[in-house]
Amino acid sequence: MKKLIIYCLAGAAMLGTGCKKFMDVTPKGVFIPRTVAEYELFLNDVLLADASYAYCELMTDDLAFTDARLAADNRTTRSYLWKQDLLKATEDDGEWNNMYRNIYNCNLVLANLSAATEGTAAEVNRLSAEAKIQRAYFYFNLVNLYGAGYQAASAASDPGVPLLLAPDLEAKTVRASVQAVYDQILKDLQEALAVNELPVTGKTYVHPGKAAAHALLARVYLYMGNYAGAQQSAEAALSLKNTLLDYNTFSFVNPARPPIGVNGRPVPENNPENIFSKTNGGNGMLSRFMISPDLLNVLGEKDLRYVYTFSRLDNKGQPVTSPFPEYFANSVNYSIGVPEMMLIKAECLARNNHPAAAVTLLNTLRQKRFKPADYVALTATSGAEALDLVLRERRLELLYHGLRWLDLKRLNREPRFQKTLTRTFQNNTYTLPPNDPLYLLQIAPKIIGINPGIVQNPR
């Protein structure tokens, strides 16, 4: 009950809209925690384990909707069709607000923990490290969704997101540069990793440990184009955890009705491959869609990642009426896991012209994703050929993990990987060219109305 009271007064007051000058609401009658244990309650909250974003999934080339599914004028439809205005003047951006709510709670812990009572120095150090890892995670998501993609030559002037490092509900803020946000992310992660009291894994899936910090750092370095740093961090994470789940152990509850359920498939927060667990509260929105024909052509129907995710049959065993197989998994996993670390390492090896080593990692993973009779080993004779295979495998393995939109954005900076996306809706064709300004999500007009210092992204 104490956790509920503290969160509702000090945290949930941020939920929906947030700080007076930054989001919208100032909490009143806030209970201020005093002890280390009371501050830890903020870091125990399951909302910290929620990735807090999902709409960008609808903007990728990995799913498709029927026209009937897009009948309403809402953020789902606007996102899918890459509309210039994703949000109306009166609409909240729950994803922005939720991520900044989590950052606020981390800032609250970091600002006050050292003065808290009834705790040991070891507990204070561990909790500070956890808060920094969580803060780094949410800032990475924010800057990649709303900011320009990282490019060393322009990051110091490219617009990022507001960088709030103190629990100040009256803060007036502007957008920090992409470089400043990344610098803070790296600082938080490096400081967390230097804490001796931070365990390898957290005490529950909500709590990150050293393995999670290394894994997040590998992801950050990859998106910065720092491939040496990404490989080193991925290897560090894999040295602490390297469990792979064999999809051959899965089976259907009823093979004649695949959507009914899958035996042996863990829920996202309990997946043994997870290094930094992140669930997704947007599961309800990520439903009732089809695999895109483009992805189906790449994935095929023998890959077990297809078999246990899509079906041409409904839950009654009848053929679906949709033109393409429908998604039925209904629970996406946004965690940073062992497969992602293997793929980051493989990409770095391929880019450094080590094709054999890169492909060996891919084959180790793929053996767990096909029936033995359907498995075919990959081969590559050049770094460029290996890189093509790695990026293809990355798309398939990290399907609906919240990364495809970010990958399209980063890979569009390389001419040979640029891709124009297209949609058809009510006989109209919608197009998103590479490097289009719409790859930066709209900042809610409501937020800018509260804080005019935040400059809108080009639309």
If you write DSSP's letter for every residue of 317-367 in order, what string do you get? SPBPSSSSPEE--------EEHHHHHHHHHHHHHHTT-HHHHHHHHHHHHT
| Domain identity same for 206 and 185 | no
Backbone angles phi, psi at 251, to 5 degrees: -155, 160
pLDDT in the model for residue 30: 61
| Domain identity same for 261 and 127 | no
Is residue 330, in this structure, part of any structural domain at all? no
User: Using one digit for the tens of pLDDT, what is the confidence trace for 128-155?
Assistant: 999 999 999 999 999 999 999 999 999 9
Is residue 295, in this structure, part of any structural domain at all? no
| Domain identity same for 185 and 238 | no
Asked if pLDDT for residue 73 goes beyond 70, the answer is: yes
| Domain identity same for 91 and 160 | yes
Read off the DSSP letter of residue 7.
Answer: I
| Domain identity same for 187 and 205 | no
CATH number of the domain encompassing residue 55: 1.25.40.390
The tally of domains found in the chain comes to 2
Q: Residue 444 is encoded by which pair of tokens?
A: 């809610």
Is residue 165, in this structure, part of any structural domain at all? yes
Q: Which of 5-9, 74-78, 329-333 has the lowest mean pLDDT?
A: 5-9
Asked if pLDDT for residue 1 goes beyond 50, the answer is: no
Is residue 266, in this structure, part of any structural domain at all? yes
| Domain identity same for 253 and 105 | no
CA distance 448 to 446: 6
| Domain identity same for 147 and 203 | no
If you write DSSP's letter for every residue of 54-109 in order, what string do you get? -GGGGGSSSEE--TGGG-S-SHHHHHHTT-S-SS-TT---HHHHHHHHHHHHHHHH
Residue 380's domain comprises 199-279+337-419
Is residue 309, in this structure, part of any structural domain at all? no
CA distance 350 to 352: 5
The whole-chain average pLDDT of the chain stands at 93
CA distance 428 to 280: 32
Is residue 361, in this structure, part of any structural domain at all? yes
| Domain identity same for 389 and 452 | no
pLDDT-derived band at 29, boundaries 50, 70, 90: low
Asked if pLDDT for residue 331 goes beyond 80, the answer is: yes
pLDDT in the model for residue 6: 33
Helix 338-351 and helix 227-240, axial crossing angle in degrees, nearest 10: 150
| Domain identity same for 43 and 147 | yes
Is residue 223, in this structure, part of any structural domain at all? yes
pLDDT in the model for residue 172: 79
> Based on C-alpha coordinates, what's the Rg of the chain?
22
Reduce the DSSP state of residue 423 to 3 states and report it: strand
Closest CA to 58 of 371, 303, 408: 408
Is residue 319, in this structure, part of any structural domain at all? no
Helix 121-146 and helix 94-112, axial crossing angle in degrees, nearest 10: 150
Asked if pLDDT for residue 409 goes beyond 80, the answer is: yes
User: Using one digit for the tens of pLDDT, what is the confidence trace for 167-202?
Assistant: 987 787 999 999 999 999 999 999 999 999 999 999
| Domain identity same for 212 and 266 | yes
| Domain identity same for 230 and 364 | yes
Asked if pLDDT for residue 7 goes beyond 60, the answer is: no
pLDDT in the model for residue 359: 98
| Domain identity same for 344 and 238 | yes
